[in-house]
Structure 1
Amino acid sequence: MEEKRLDRILTSMEKYKIPQLIITSPSAIFYLTGKWIESGERMCAIFIDQSGVKKFVINALFPINDDTGFDIITFNDSEDPIEKLTPFIDKKAVLGIDKNWQSSFLIRLMDKLQGISVVNGSFIMDEVRIIKDDDEIQLLKEASKINDMVIDELIKNISEGSKEVDLARNLVDIYAKHGTEQFSFEPLIAFGKNGAEPHHSSDNSILKKGNSIIIDIGGKTNGYCSDMTRTVFYGEISERQKEIYNLVHQANLQGIKAVRPGTKFSDIDKAARDVIANAGYGEYFTHRTGHNVGIDVHEPTDVSSINNSEVEEGMVFSIEPGIYLPNEFGVRIEDLVLVTKDGCEILNSYDKNIKII
Structure 2
Amino acid sequence: MNPNRLAAICHLMEKHQAEQLIISDPSTIFYLTGTWFSPGERLSALLVKQTGETLLINNELFPLPENFKIPTYWIKDTDDQIRLMADLITCKKIAVDKNWPARFLIPLMELLPDNHFSLATPITDGARLIKDASEQNLMRHASSLNDSAMKLLSQEVTEGVTEKQLAKRLAEIYVELNTDGFSFDPIVAFGANGADPHHEIDDTPIKNGDSIIIDIGCKKDSYSSDMTRTFFFQEVSEKSREVYETVKEANLLAIQAAKPGNRFSDVDKAARDYISAKGYGEYFTHRTGHGIGIDVHEPEDVSSSNESILKPGMIFSIEPGIYLSGEIGVRIEDLVLITEDGCEVLNEVSKDLTILESKE
Q: 5+ unaligned residues in a row in structure 2: which ranges?
A: none
Q: Deviations over 1:141-175 (max 9, x none)?
A: 00000000011111111111111112112222211
Matching of residues 58-69 of structure 1 within 5 Å: 58-69=58-69
2:286 equivalent in structure 1? 287
Aligned to 1:316: 315
How much does 1:250 deviate? Answer: 0.3
Asked if 1:138 is matched to 2:140, the reply is: no
Once structures 1 and 2 are overlaid, which stretch shifts more, 38-47 or 65-74? 65-74
Cα distance in structure 1, aligned partners of 2:175 and 2:86? 42
Give the C-alpha shift of residue 52 in structure 1: 3.9
Distance across 1 between alignment mates of 2:159 and 2:319: 27
Q: Name the structure 1 match of 2:244.
A: 245
Is 1:24 paired with 2:36?
Answer: no
Q: What do residues 69-128 of structure 1 show as CA deviations (whole Å, max 9, x unaligned)?
A: 42022222222332442222136x111101121111112212322332111112211111
2:93 and 2:16 mapped to 1: Cα distance?
Answer: 11
Aligned to 1:34: 34
Q: Taking structure 1 as the reference length, what is the TM-score of the superposition?
A: 0.97
Secondary structure at 2:207 match in 1:
coil
- Give me the whole-angstrom Cα distance separating, in 2, the residues matched to 1:171 and 1:73: 43
Cα distance in 2 between the residues matched to 1:96 and 1:67: 28
What pairs with 1:1-357 in structure 2 (closer than 5 Å)?
Answer: 1-90=1-90, 93-357=92-356
CA distance in 2, matches of 1:112, 1:257: 52
Deviation at 1:68, TM superposition (A): 3.7
CA–CA distance in 2 between the matches of 1:126 and 1:342?
A: 24
Q: Quick one: distance in 1 between partners of 2:50 and 2:126? A: 18
Contact 1:184–1:220 under 8 Å retained in 2: yes
Count of aligned positions:
356
SS of 2:330's equivalent? strand
Contact 1:294–1:316 (CA under 8 A) maintained in structure 2: yes
State the 1:245 CA deviation: 0.4
1:279-317 Cα deviation digits (max 9, x unpaired): 110000001111111001111111110111110000000
Separation in 1, partners of 2:60, 2:175? 30
Partners of 2:84 and 2:51 lie apart in 1 by 19
Task: Give, as a single letter, the amino acid of the residue that structure 2 aligns with 1:40.
Answer: G
- Cα offset for 1:340? 0.5
8 Å CA contact 1:57–1:81 kept in 2: the answer is no
- What secondary structure, in the 3-state scheme, does the structure 2 residue paired with 1:302 have? strand
Between the aligned partners of 2:251 and 2:52, the Cα distance in structure 1 is 46
The unaligned stretches of length 5 or more in structure 1 are none
RMSD (CA atoms): 1.2
SS at match of 2:355: coil
Equivalent position SS for 2:45: strand
Q: Is the partner of 1:119 in helix, strand or coil?
A: strand
In 1, the alpha carbon distance for the partners of 2:275 and 2:172 equals 37
Checking the alignment, whether the CA contact within 8 Å between 1:57 and 1:84 is kept in structure 2 is no
Secondary structure, aligned partner of 1:85: helix
Q: Calculate the TM-score normalised by the size of structure 2.
A: 0.96
Amino acid at match of 2:235: E
- Counterpart of 2:94, as a letter, is L
- Which amino acid in the other structure matches residue 138 of structure 2? L
Looking at structure 1, the residues matched to 289 and 194 of structure 2 have their Cα atoms a distance apart, in angstroms, of 18
